[in-house]
Amino acid sequence: MNKIVCFGEVLVRLSTNNALRFNQSDQLGFHFGGSEANVAKSLSQFNLDTSFITRLPNNELSKCAIQEFQKYGVETGQCVYGGQRLGIYFLEQGAMQRASSVIYDRSHSGMASLEKGMIDWDHIFKDASWFHWSGITPALSFSAAQAVEEALEEAKKRNLIISCDLNYRSKLWDYGKKPSEILPKLMAYSNVLLAGINELSVCLDIEPKEKNETITDYLEDLYKALKKKFPSLEHFASTLRMPLSSSHHKWSGVLVSNGALKASKTYDLTNIVDRIGGGDSFMAGLIYGLIAYRGEPQKIVDFATAASVLKHSIHGDVNMCEVEEVLELMNQKEPSRVKR
């Protein structure tokens, strides 16, 4: 397996502590985040050769972000520099029945002002076998969407496996284009898709003729509709989250792989430490599973789900767990015992 290339924006995350509201806080916790960045770091934790590509300003804060990737073992030597600033998002942590809330501050960032021709994809893809993108970058600006299309065209030419997490963010699509006007053309290049059921309608104009009695039938119908519209698609996954409160969720995953549907067990997540990055950790687990457990869809979805369960126990955006920890949970080998 050659290098996995992840492409997206690195963000500064500023979050309230101890579930305080914004107007109660006199300090904010500082982390680096971003969906594709989280995937890259997690894949590197799984001992896969991973590279992250982004555009960021040439300043001290950006150097700190790059050092953070290097700490995780992610290759960053081909990132490009430009734009006025790093993007920021502010997170108010929810509690009990009060939901968490996010405020974005990403205008004029390096990625928002990205254009075609700024990144040398021929050089970047030289030793790559996999390319991962998400629906967040095309939401930043029309020029960023064009740059994503350029990357996808180059990845397709080289027969890379292409994965996408739709990651619909309603607060980002504000430059005059709807997701359904941009994302279907980009999705046509992809072989692997992670998406919430409701995202498919908004982003890809995909929904079955009617909702069937069981979730299994419904997801199988969605896969058929996706496959008909996007013939390159081989694997479609979705996470199923049932929030009982901000800190207590039911969580499971499903995977339709070449027409066969497999579902993970449902986990009861009590006392969640941090839910941000839960989907990204599932995406990283899915990529790892498709590589390590090829042809074993049940094992793939079980690994991805277990990886994302563990992320909910970790502060910050990134899943810092290794393969052995995921396998312990997946195989129920007393993960809660103290390791002495």
For the segment 247-287, what is each residue's pLDDT rounded down to a tens digit? 899 999 999 998 889 999 999 999 888 888 889 999 999 99
Crossing angle between the packed helical segments 142-157 and 179-187, to the nearest 10 degrees:
10
Whether residue 338 is contained in a domain is answered as no
Could you state, in chain order, the average pLDDT of each consecutive group of 10 residues for the chain (340 residues)?
92 89 89 94 97 96 94 94 93 85 90 96 95 97 97 97 96 94 97 93 83 74 93 95 89 92 95 88 98 96 97 92 96 63
pLDDT of res. 210: 65
Domain range spanning residue 246? 3-330
Whether residue 57 is contained in a domain is answered as yes
Whether residue 19 is contained in a domain is answered as yes
Q: How far apart are CA 11 and CA 14, in angstroms?
A: 10
Helices (H) and strands (E) in the chain, counts: 11, 15
The CA-atom distances, in angstroms, between 325 and each of 32, 103, 259, 311 are 23, 33, 30, 11
Q: What is the DSSP letter of 274?
A: -
Whether residue 184 is contained in a domain is answered as yes
| Phi, psi of 98, deg, nearest 5 | -90, 125
First-residue to last-residue Cα distance in the chain: 34
Q: Output the domain CATH number for residue 206.
A: 3.40.1190.20
pLDDT of res. 286: 98
Whether residue 339 is contained in a domain is answered as no
Number of domains in the chain: 1
Kindly state the helix (H) or strand (E) to which residue 286 belongs, with its residue range. helix 278-292
Q: Kindly report, residue by residue over 143-168, the tens digit of the pLDDT.
A: 999 999 999 999 999 999 999 999 99
Whether residue 340 is contained in a domain is answered as no
- Residues sharing a CB contact under 8 Å with residue 231, sequence separation 6 or more, in sequence order: none
At residue 112, what is the residue type? A
Q: How far apart are CA 303 and CA 330, in angstroms?
A: 6
pLDDT of res. 208: 66
pLDDT of res. 19: 83
